[in-house]
Structure formats: structure tokens, C-alpha cells
Chain A
Amino acid sequence: MVNTAEVVSSHDLQAPIKLGVKDLSISYGDHLALRNSTFEIREHEIFGIIGPANAGKTSFLKAVNRMDMFDPQMEVSGEIRFNGLDVSKVRNVYGLRRRIGVVFPLPVGLPMSVYDNVALAPRLASTKKRADLDVIVERCLRRAALWDEVKDRLNTLGSLLSGGQQQRLTIARALSQEPELLMLDEFSIAVDPVTTMRIEDVLKELKQEITIILVTNLVQQARRLADRTAFFLDGECVEVAETEELFSGEVKDQRTRDYVDGRFG
């Protein structure tokens, strides 16, 4: 984890920029998924991204993690700076991805044991000692609020857990990379409300150590968690504002107001 000992109570506009996005456009062939978006994400904040389907939210996450490498259709232009470094010019993309944890909308428990699921990332980064792995696995499962449920059956297949458990398993797996940035893409789709609240509590704690991007369909979830929120619509970053401003109607754009008030989307 990041070695910041101080606790950041609320977010801090003076905090250094974790992720700087400038003139970012993403297209798949003729389809423009995101255009000319500019905003920045600061350290130790939860940055919410709300917006209806097809707004370009997931494409943005893919671009941050350089997943365009695996998708020949996907083209990214503009700039994404992670810790000040342009990700498109990073040579060691594997190192970049290791610092960025991703949680997908649908839980993907890999068909290996619960233990191996969480130990996979450390193993890929060549941590091999069983004792070290044991510590990492327990810590990550505890943080993902899953430890108590699986501690007696770490050898069952990850893909056999229930949907909500698998989702927490993927969160544990993302944390096992010891990421500086955690990106959650609509993580609560497959999770029941009680578990969702537990994970949200975990996220609030985590932000003292890492930066979190929370893409969500649930407007109220962004309101509960995010320090600042961006509203994406049809491939456009309409507005970025303090979450409270966004929800109290102090926003400039009529479309944002309509969306958060539930008038469309």
C-alpha cells in the first residue's frame, strides 16, 4: 500500500493528481465511445462516474489500464497521466496494470481455488513463499469482507461461490495486487444490498490509502461514496463536480440535473 500515514478525513483539493485525463477520445472503428474528455482524479478520493449505458464509462476504465492492447478495434487518443506518466508511453504496461486494480460488473471467479484466486496476482509478481502468500490472502479477503465466509474452505473453487461472494472475491483479488488505484465498474450489480453496504464501508476505509474510481449506475451510490462525481452521457463527459454540488442542483448543465433527479436514464 501507499505509505501515507496521515488520515485524510474528507478529500482535499490540494491533493496531488493521481490520474490526469486530457482531451481523451476513444473509438471502436466508426463508433466514438468517448470524446474530448478532460478531468483529473486526485489522490485519496473516491471519484464517482455516473451515466446511462453507452456513456463511455467502461471504455474509459479500459483505456486507463491499457486494455486497448488486447482489442484491435479500440483506438485511444489524448492523454491519460497516471502519477504524471502518460500511460500510452509506459513501456512496462504489466507493471502499470499491477498498480491498478479492476473489478468488473459481473464477478469473474477464476476456476481455481479461492486461495489461488487471491494469490494469483502476487504469484504473477513472483511472490512464492507460502507464508507470505498466506498473509496476503487473509488480509485481502478480510478487507473484502469475505474472510469469515470462506476461511474454512479456501480450497473450494472460486467459481463455485455465490454471485455476491464471487464479487467480493474479485475485490480481494484486485486488492492483492496492492494497487494504488482501484477501479470498480458497477460492482454492485450482482451483489445484494446488505453486502453492497459492507463493501461500501470497505471502500470508505480504503480511500485513506488508495484512490478509487467508482463507476456506477446507482446515482445514490455515487452520492453516498464519491467525493467528486463526473457525469458521462453519450460519450461525453458532461460535468465534473463536488458530489454534493452535483446533487444539490448547483450544476451548470441541465442534462446533469435531469439525470440525478431521475428525469431520464
Chain B
Amino acid sequence: MFSASELNHRNQRIQSLFRFFLGGMTVTLMVPVVIILTVLIIKGGPAISFEFLFTNPTNGMTAGGIFPALLGTICLVLVALIASVPLGIGAAIYLSEYAPDNAFTRIINLAIINLAGVPSIVHALFGLGAFVIFFKFGTSILAASLTLAILTLPVVIVATRESLQAVPMAFREACWNMGATRWQTIRRVVLPNAITGILTGVILEVSRTAGETAPIMFTGAAFFLPLLPQSVFDQTMALSLHLFVVSTQVPNMPEHLPYGVALVLICLVLMMNSLSIALRMYLRGKKKW
């Protein structure tokens, strides 16, 4: 009764084939990641030391550490976050909870999607024109961070809006029926349930911001600075630009140094991503519906 027919056999062969094929694609996907990490660790690992992380570059950047660049990247990311997170979350709340479904809202949504697709070098030129020249911030941390903020706004907006919309409509309706205003509903029911997704979005934004090079090249990141920045109106060094510089612009560069810089940069980004995953898992454990 249960003996397999010719059709059953054929279906099973096809299914095995596809399983093998799709599995192979997954493995292929991992190859570049594994190679990049292995090469970086082998070649850049020896460069990493306490001195490397916490001292200034010396001998025309061919020796010494990367402290100014590391600190600079952290500053750029922090200032960019201060600018983009409130703006992005606010806009996302408006779009998800208040905005009527009309042509205007659809245009805004389209604009956000398009903003995500603008090449980063265009953002760089925009930042140069707007923040450096028009607002007279000069090439500075502020101008570079604001450029980065605009570049990464879509990430925050989209992540926030999606986690807000994942909160079931029934929760909102139950709350409205009790005489709550829209804001009371957002504050007491929607936000507490969307906060996981919002945080994940913010952390992903951090890792994106830390790695960007083009937008900060013209707006605030410097080739080499003997002194650390004193305020947001100073220029700064940054890891991503530093990597570009030591890889291509300096003659007689010892090989391990660019690899070391790349390793630090990628570790910074991976740490952020792991933090995001850990946070997500922790909060999913407390998932409420």
C-alpha cells in the first residue's frame, strides 16, 4: 500500500537535487566572509597590541598606532547617532502611527527609499555643499557626522517603522476604545512592544556609520593630524579613511599595518552586529505575545 511509485521516486530525486543545490549556494555565500576574516587575522593579527590601539602614528604613519583614528571614528558615530536617532525614530512614529494614507505620505515613503539608494559619494558632495560651505561648519566632525546621519537615516526610519507596524492593530484598538489618545497608545502599548526592533535598527546603523569612507573624506576626516580633536568643529582622523590612506597613499608601508587597521575596523563592526543579535535574543526571550 505504501510502496513508492515511480512518481514518488522522481519527486524525491528532484528534492534531493534542490537540497544539494541550495545548500551549495549557502556554503558559497560563506566563502568570502571566511577568507576575509582568516586573511585579516593571519596578516593583521600580529599588528594588534595595546600600543597599536592607544598610540599615535609615527614615521609618516608607517609605524606606531591608530589611536586618533579609532577615537575619531567613535566620535563621528556618536555625533551622527545624536543627530539621526531622534529624527529617524520621530519620523517613523509619525509615518506609522499618525500619517494618513494619502499621496503626500506615499511621496515621503518613496523619498525615504530613494534616500537609501543614493550613492555615498553623492552624500559626500551634498555634505560638503550643505554643512561645510553653506552652514559654515568647515571640514569638521560636525559636518562629517551630519553627512553620515543623513546617509543612515533611512536605516533607522525603516527599521523603526517596521517594528512599529509589527505591533498588532488589535492592541491599539483596545487602547483607543478605552479613551486613550493616539499618543497615550503609542507611549504605553506600541513603543514598549516595538523597542527591540528599534534598538536593532539603531545598532545596525552604528555599524554602517563606522565603516563609511566617502561621505567623511570631504567633510571632516583628515589624512593625518598630529593632535586629537578638541571640539566637534575640529577635523578628525577616522579608521575607514586611515585604512584607505595607509593602503594606497603612503610609500614603504609595512604590510601588517593596513591589515591591522582593517582588522580593528571589522572587529568594531562585528562587535556592534553581535551586540545587536544578543540584544535581540535577550529581548525575544521576554517577547510578550
Which A residues have a C-beta under 8 Å from some C-beta of B? Answer: 65, 67, 70, 72, 94-98, 100, 102, 104, 106, 108, 110-112, 120-121, 123-125, 157, 159, 170, 173-174, 177
Chain A residues contacting B288 (CB-CB under 8 Å) are: 111-112, 157, 159
Contact A95 B179 (CB under 8 A): yes
**A104, chain B: closest CB distance, angstroms:** 7
Give the number of chain B interface residues (Cβ < 8 Å): 20
**B137, chain A: closest CB distance, angstroms:** 43
Assess whether B6 is interfacial by the CB under 8 Å rule.
no
Contact A104 B100 (CB under 8 A): no
Partner of A170, one of B174, B192, B289: B174
Assess whether B189 is interfacial by the CB under 8 Å rule.
yes
25 contacts across the A-B interface (CB closer than 8 A): A67-B176, A70-B173, A70-B176, A94-B180, A95-B179, A97-B178, A98-B178, A102-B177, A104-B173, A111-B171, A111-B288, A111-B289, A112-B189, A112-B288, A120-B175, A120-B178, A120-B188, A124-B178, A124-B179, A124-B188, A125-B179, A159-B288, A173-B174, A173-B178, A177-B179
Contact B170 A97 (CB under 8 A): no
Assess whether B38 is interfacial by the CB under 8 Å rule.
no
Interface of chain B residues 169 through 199 with chain A (CB within 8 A): 170-171, 173-181, 184, 188-189, 192-193
Chain B residues contacting A173 (CB-CB under 8 Å) are: 174, 178
Question: Do A110 and B189 form a contact, CB below 8 Å, given A157-B288, A170-B174?
Answer: yes
Question: Do A104 and B193 form a contact, CB below 8 Å, given A94-B181, A98-B179?
Answer: no
Q: What's the dominant secondary structure at chain B's contact region?
A: helix
Partner of A124, one of B101, B170, B184: B184
How far is B170's CA from A157's CA once the two chains are assembled, in angstroms?
16
How far is B101's CA from A110's CA once the two chains are assembled, in angstroms?
26
Partner of A121, one of B170, B179, B189, B193: B179
How far is B12's CA from A112's CA once the two chains are assembled, in angstroms?
48
Most chain B beta carbons < 10 A, residue from A106, A110, A121: A110
How far is B189's CA from A177's CA once the two chains are assembled, in angstroms?
17
Chain A residues contacting B193 (CB-CB under 8 Å) are: 111
Chain B residues contacting A95 (CB-CB under 8 Å) are: 179
Closest to B178 in A: A121
Chain B residues contacting A112 (CB-CB under 8 Å) are: 189, 192, 288
How far is B96's CA from A101's CA once the two chains are assembled, in angstroms?
26
Chain A residues contacting B181 (CB-CB under 8 Å) are: 94
Interface of chain B residues 211 through 249 with chain A (CB within 8 A): none
Partner of B180, one of A96, A108, A124: A124
Interface of chain B residues 142 through 181 with chain A (CB within 8 A): 170-171, 173-181
**A57, chain B: closest CB distance, angstroms:** 16
Contact B289 A159 (CB under 8 A): yes
**B106, chain A: closest CB distance, angstroms:** 14
**A58, chain B: closest CB distance, angstroms:** 12
Closest to A97 in B: B179
| 0/1 interface trace, chain B 198-217, chain A, CB 8 Å (1 if under) | 00000000000000000000
Contact B176 A108 (CB under 8 A): no
Chain B residues contacting A67 (CB-CB under 8 Å) are: 173, 176-177
**B167, chain A: closest CB distance, angstroms:** 9
Contact A110 B175 (CB under 8 A): yes
How far is B192's CA from A177's CA once the two chains are assembled, in angstroms?
22
How far is B179's CA from A123's CA once the two chains are assembled, in angstroms?
11
Chain B residues contacting A98 (CB-CB under 8 Å) are: 178-179
Closest to B182 in A: A70
Closest to B102 in A: A72
How far is B147's CA from A95's CA once the two chains are assembled, in angstroms?
46
**B203, chain A: closest CB distance, angstroms:** 23
How far is B193's CA from A120's CA once the two chains are assembled, in angstroms?
16
Contact B171 A94 (CB under 8 A): no
Chain A residues contacting B188 (CB-CB under 8 Å) are: 120, 123-124
